[in-house]
Amino acid sequence: MATKSNPRRSTIYAIVALASPVIAVMCTITYQKLAYASFWRTAQNNESHVNGLMAAVEIIQLIFALALGLALGSFFSIVSIRYRKRIFSLGSLAFGINAILLSALAFLWLFQDVHH
């Protein structure tokens, strides 16, 4: 399927691709602040193991949100590249950033050293 060159549409998709990871993480942080506010208000110092588990849950949610944002950013950057097929464009920059960060995140997840 051939697509015509459309610089404006390509730029819009590239900007969305660059903003996707940031938006995903910011939405997750906002959700966590609203959803877990009562937990952190009532958290006691003598329940450090529970507090530690909740902090781990929040970090894992942020990692998944980042991965989802990077995957969406990669998708939107590919759409941007389809509208403007140039080697050096904002879409190719967005794809490079999203793909490298997503690959690094996948590499860290796949090759983590787990000690029991």
Q: What is the pLDDT of residue 114?
A: 62
3-class DSSP assignment, residue 115: coil
Question: What mean pLDDT do residues 67-83 have?
Answer: 93
Whole-prediction pTM value? 0.81
| Residue 82 in tokens | 């389809």
Alpha helix stretches (DSSP H) within the chain: 7-35, 37-42, 48-83, 90-110
φ/ψ (deg, to 5) at 34: -80, -45
- Percent above pLDDT 90 for the chain: 54
